[in-house]
Amino acid sequence: MAGSRLEKFGTVFNRVRDLMRSGVIQPTEKPLWYDVYQAFPPKRDPLQVKPRNRPSSQKRETVHDIFYQEDEVRAKFYEQYGAGPWPLDLTKSSYVSMCQRFVNKYTDLKRHSELDESALFEETGKALLSEGLVLRRKGASSVSAESKEPMLRLKLTDMLAEKQSVGVDSKETMDQTTQMETPPIDHSNSKTTG
């Protein structure tokens, strides 16, 4: 009998009052709040009113951008160093990204020094380098990668040419060894019949 729980056509008080009048709810079973509400009714009836959907009457609330100081440092970090070659490991709760390490070191150095932002940024990179963390700038080629993996620089054509030259060298040595092992044939002493 109560129908929808939305108060479209009346308040909860009106419905409980009407249920008590009709005898569905006994006066001994009335809710605790009923007497308080009856003694101190609200100034306005709490009715549900559909909001009007006029675009001109609606005020647009602008949400202001929220920036923290570390966001500027992060933006500058990603601008200079990029995301790096390694993906973020979100499976470990104790994982700290390279950017977060940089921001932590930056704020620590900022507390203890009086440098301007650009010098502090460079000092942070040097401090991380002294701790063993290598930061590579965007677009810079890694020299250490070349020295570690010289095989990566070889091209397929170079490898093929080397293989062919090794094949020619081995054929020449094979010819030389066969000439030494077999005695030469002298054709000048042979008689021809004719």
Residue 136 confidence class, pLDDT cut points 50, 70, 90: confident
Q: 101-105: which pairs have CB atoms within 8 A and are 24 or more residues apart? A: 101/128, 101/133, 102/73, 102/77, 102/128, 102/135, 103/70, 103/73, 103/74, 103/77
Q: Which domain holds residue 127?
A: 69-86+93-131
- Domain membership flag for residue 152: no
- Domain membership flag for residue 191: no
Same-domain status, 35 and 77: no
Q: Six-digit token pair at 107?
A: 């704020």
CA atoms of 136 and 84, how far apart (whole Å): 8
Q: What is the pLDDT of residue 169?
A: 61
**Containing H/E element for 37?**
helix 33-39
Q: Which of 105, 131, 157 is a domain's end point?
A: 131
Same-domain status, 73 and 124: yes
Q: pTM for the whole thing?
A: 0.41
CA atoms of 162 and 2, how far apart (whole Å): 92
Same-domain status, 27 and 76: no
Per-residue pLDDT tens over the stretch 32-66: 999 999 999 888 877 666 666 666 656 777 888 88
Which of the two residues, 25 and 190, has the higher pLDDT score?
25
